[in-house]
Structures are given as C-alpha cells and as structure tokens.
Amino acid sequence: MSAILAPAPEVLAAEARAAYATLQKAGLKLDMTRGKPSAEQLDLAEGMLALPGNRDHFAEDGQDVRNYGGLQGLPEARRLFGAMLGVPADQVVVAENSSLAIMHDCIVLALLKGVAGGAAPWSQGDAAFICPVPGYDRHFALCEGFGIRMIPVPMRDDGPDMDAVEAAAADPAVKGMWCVPTYSNPTGATYSEAVARRLASMRTGAADFRLFWDNAYAVHHLTDSQPAPLDILSMCAAAGHAERAFIFASTSKITLAGAGLAFFGGSPANVRWYLEQAGRRTVGPDKLNQLRHTRFLRDLDGLKRHMAGHRRLLAPKFDATIAALEQRLGGLGVARWLRPEGGYFITVEMLEGSARRVVELARGLGIALTPAGATWPQGRDPNDNILRLAPSFPTLADVRAAAEGIALCMLLAALEARGAA
Ligand code: PMP
C-alpha cells in the first residue's frame, strides 16, 4: 500500500491526536469483538419457541419426534436445509446444535479411523491443512488442538489464492483445507465459481484429501445480490473426486446461536461414513428442535423472509462501520477493506506492523477489539496488519461510535508507522 497522506501528515496527525484526546474523555465502553447475533436478531425467532405446541409432535413421516431414533434427521428438515445449501435431501444429516462440533468429530474420526475410502487413519503420518488467511480462529484452534500442521495461503476477493493452494495440495501430508465459501469469516469474500472448480478438480498428493466446506453464512445476505450456494458436490463428482467435499452449516445465525440445528452434507459414501459413527455416538438427535425449525421457517421462501429480517437489523450496522472507515481513511492509501455483501465481519488490512497498535489505541478509548493476529494460525499474524471488526452485537449507536473511534485509531497508527505522529 502506498501512502498518499493528504492533507499534510503533520496537520492530519495534530487533528487526529486532538480528536483522540477528546474521545478519551468521553469514557466509552464498547465491544466490537464478538460475531454474535444481537438480542433483536434472536427475538426474530421467538415465535419458534412455542412450537410445535398442541401435542402436535409428529413429523411428516409419522414419527413421534419426542422419542429416540431418526439419526439422519427429519425428512422435512433435510429437505429445507438441503435446499438452503444446494445439497440433495438424502445427502444431508441434521445433527445437533453446532456445526463446529461436527467438524471436530470429522477431524477426530479421520485421525483415528481414516475417511471413507482412505487407506489409513490420518494420524498415521504427518497431517496438514491448507488455511486461507485471514481465516476463522476456531478452525485453526481445531487443527492446533490435534497437532495438524497449518499451511497459510492468501485469501483474495474471490477466494483463496489458487496457485498457492494447488502448490500446497501436492504434498501427500496435506489432508484437508478450510473453506468458508460464502461471505467468508472474516473478509466477507465469496468464492468465485472458477475458484470452486479449481478446488474440486485440483490434483492432490493425498488421495483421501477433504475440503472442509463450512457454509456458515450461505443465506446471510446484506444486499440484493444473493448468490446461490456453489454446488461443490457436483463439481467434485464431475471432476472424478466425488468424496472430496464435506459440507457444514448451522442455523446458529438464522434462528438461535447455540440452540439451532447443525448440518453435515456430502456424497452418499461420506454420509454413510459419518452416520456409522454418529450411530455409535448418539441414540438420535433432538428432533423436537428440528420440527420446531421446520414448522417455524416452513420452506425456502420462509427462510429467506426470516433472513431479510436479519438483514434489516444488520445492514445499517455494516453501513455505519464502512462509512466511518471511508470518512477517516478513504483515499489515504493506508487501509483496505472489502464491503461485505453478507456474513458477520469486516476485515481491515492496514500498514504492516500496525494492527496491535490499533488494538492498544482502541483500548485506550474504551473500545474492545478482537486481538490482532486472531485471524492467523496460532494467533500470529506475521505482518501484524489485519483486524477483524464484528458489528452485529452492539446497538447501532454503539457500532457507529465504536467504528468512528476505531477508524481514528487506524489513522493514528498509520501516521505513527509513517513517522508522522
Ligand atoms: N463456522 C464459521 C465460519 C463461523 O463463523 C461460526 C460462528 N462464528 C461457526 C462455524 C460456528 O458455528 P456453530 O454455531 O454451528 O458451531
């Protein structure tokens, strides 16, 4: 990034320092760390809690959802959320409340027993994952927790840098890759079809390589441009790698965070592989919650209407954050961000060596930010230049105040880095 500091850096610095001193006196106490839905968003699903009601506890196939069984999930739930993800209903498993837990189980199972058609458990040798960065810290924590080596590759505006991905995937130790294909956490970028096709068809050194396709934000649109989910299963099958993709998602940010439904999708062989172990792990999922969800959302149109409610609450917070960044930093050449068309985060790329300083300056104003480095494996950003902003949880007024404060801190840190403040 070239710095085109205008007006003169000293003038800007004096103004910024004065603005910082004034804000310090305001005694702010704001938090932009958490990618959680706000209480108003959770209220959108309040009506669901009264369902099914009236002793109406039978699924469409007649099963009593209060009892054990139904390992793969109710047919109506698999149909609805399969449609949401672009996966055939019989290739969807509706599990419990957390997609992260399903990812965890898949990793454990792959390490201990191997994947469907795999020659050996992954734990029998060195195992590594490709990690687009910036990425989701909990993905990285799973790898870290199980001793899986992480190979960072740069994230672009249309998905990961595919030349770097293909080079890394040639190594037989590389068993998997984290992908958040729609409105990625944290940059908001959506993978292009060309990127998805390259992922589906690339040569991998490991025959049992898997894409961990975490479509956590598939329907979390913030604009009218609402891309359909990429059909990664068909792309993989067409390229002769039918088992390559594991699909994950949940309703944590559709209905209730931590009290929703989580999904696994894949080829028929992958679904059998998953269910074989799931059937040992549990006597059956919470089908009452599945019925509650399908009665409440009804169909894909109902789901879209519900998501439009989230958009109404979230879009102004994203707009306020972007407006603050543009107003303070626009045209200065010291920071870059993508205006997300969905998802939960805005990521700002700044001058090298300034992210930690921004967090420190923001703390001085009473504004909590996600720690610098959180979007990199092991929490270590070698360039110290990425910050993730999470505008969903605070009120709009607080988001506005926090974003203005953060943008100011970014300007100050940039001026310091240039030796102007
Ligand atoms: N994947 C991504 C990309 C996420 O951002 C999140 C939530 N922050 C999760 C998974 C966690 O989802 P769940 O609540 O289904 O475990």
The full set of domain ranges for the chain reads: 9-32+304-417, 50-298
**Mean pLDDT to the nearest integer, 76-100:** 97
Q: How far is the CA of 100 from the centre of ligand 1 (A)?
A: 6
Q: How far apart are CA 4 and CA 71, in angstroms?
A: 59
Output the pLDDT for position 10.
Answer: 85
State which of 131, 137, 214 you would mutate to test the pocket of ligand 1, scoring each by most atoms of that ligand within 8 A of its C-beta. 214
pTM: 0.96
Residue-wise pLDDT tens digits, 339-360: 999 999 999 999 999 999 999 9
Q: How far is the CA of 69 from the centre of ligand 1 (A)?
A: 26
Mean residue pLDDT of the chain comes to: 96
Residue-wise pLDDT tens digits, 269-304: 999 999 999 999 999 999 999 999 999 999 999 999
Output the pLDDT for position 419.
Answer: 81
**Mean pLDDT to the nearest integer, 252-271:** 98
Residue-wise pLDDT tens digits, 356-415: 999 999 999 999 999 999 999 999 999 999 999 999 999 999 999 999 999 999 999 999
| Dihedral sign, Cα of residue 166, residue 170, residue 171, residue 173 | positive
Ligand 1 pocket (Cβ < 6 Å) reads 35, 98-100, 136, 180, 185, 214, 216, 250, 252, 262
**Does 9-32+304-417 carry CATH code 3.90.1150.10?**
yes
Which of 82-86, 262-266, 330-334 shows the lowest per-residue confidence on average (mean pLDDT)? 330-334
Q: How far is the CA of 209 from the centre of ligand 1 (A)?
A: 22
Asked if residue 233 has pLDDT above 80, the reply is yes
Asked if residue 193 has pLDDT above 90, the reply is yes
Asked if residue 6 has pLDDT above 80, the reply is no
Output the pLDDT for position 4.
Answer: 52
Cα-Cα-Cα-Cα torsion 15, 395, 319, 347, nearest 10 degrees, comes to 80
Residue ranges of E strands in 98-244:
128-133, 149-156, 159-160, 174-179, 210-214
Report the DSSP beta bridge partners of residue 367.
Answer: 30
More confident residue, 316 or 9: 316
Output the pLDDT for position 181.
Answer: 98
Q: Which atom of ligand 1 is least distant from the CA of 250?
A: 15
Output the pLDDT for position 86.
Answer: 98
For domain 50-298, give the CATH number. Answer: 3.40.640.10
Q: How far apart are CA 83 and CA 413, in angstroms?
A: 46
Output the pLDDT for position 146.
Answer: 98
Radius of gyration for the alpha carbons in the chain, expressed in angstroms and rounded? 23
Residue-wise pLDDT tens digits, 106-153: 999 999 999 999 999 999 999 999 999 999 999 999 999 999 999 999
Q: pLDDT confidence of 34, banded at 50, 70, 90?
A: confident
Residue with tokens 């001793």: 147
Q: How far apart are CA 214 and CA 293, in angstroms?
A: 21
Asked if residue 235 has pLDDT above 70, the reply is yes
Asked if residue 177 has pLDDT above 80, the reply is yes
Asked if residue 53 has pLDDT above 90, the reply is no
State which of 107, 138, 190, 261 you would mutate to test the pocket of ligand 1, scoring each by most atoms of that ligand within 8 A of its C-beta. 138
Asked if 285 and 95 count as a contact pair (C-beta separation under 8 A), the reply is yes
**Mean pLDDT to the nearest integer, 173-177:** 98
